[in-house]
Amino acid sequence: MKNRTDITDFNKIPNVGPSTIRYLNMLNINKPFELIGQNPYLMYRELCKIADKEFDPCLADVFISAVKFMEGAAPKKWWHYTEERKASLSKNKELTK
């Protein structure tokens, strides 16, 4: 897979809309290429800490889809990653803290 460093607009990333862009900015991710190499689970946890609230876990699925897309994966709907998230979180309890 080839990283998509040519994408300069978050709106070009599948599943990413205005709310997700605001959340990414809260995480100091201001350019799409900054998603490359990120851990979407840790992004989700950090956002919950920053905002001092628990977001719907489906937001983690959106983060997974955005990171994987920027890292070269085929575009997929965010819910494609729900089972992956559930499996990862059940194995890695520290990501749920």
Domain limits, the chain: 10-96
* Per-residue pLDDT at 82: 95
| Confidence at residue 69, expressed as pLDDT on a 0 to 100 scale | 97
For residues 20 and 7, give the distance between their C-alpha atoms in angstroms, rounded to a whole number. 16
The ranges of the chain with pLDDT < 70 are 1, 93-97
pLDDT reported for residue 93: 58
pTM for the whole thing?
A: 0.91
pLDDT for res 73: 96
Distance CA 73, CA 66 (A): 9
Residues 6+ apart with CB under 8 A from 14: 65, 66, 69, 75, 76, 77
pLDDT of residue 81: 95
